[in-house]
Amino acid sequence: MTLGEVLLSSLSSGVITQYEVDWVTSHQHCFSREEVASALRLGRLIDTGDVNLGCRLPLSVG
């Protein structure tokens, strides 16, 4: 998993999972300057309610 993948999936679905939040916080010491900026953007999106903590359901069930 990369921060870019987390950011893109969160932006496209409007949801970030607890696992992804945990991954971001546990790997932030390894982030490049650009990744830090992306993580801050993700944090702002969560703060404003544009991205919410939750779970993603599959598109089709069955």
Helices (H), the chain: 3-13, 18-27, 33-48
What is the per-residue pLDDT across 17-44, written as a single tens digit (0 to 9) for each?
Answer: 999 999 999 999 999 999 999 999 999 9
pLDDT band at 61 (very low <50, low <70, confident <90, very high): low
Task: With a cut of 70, say whether residue 62 has pLDDT above it.
Answer: no
Note the pTM of the prediction, 2 decimals.
0.85
Non-local CB neighbours of 44 within 8 Å, separated by 6+ positions = none
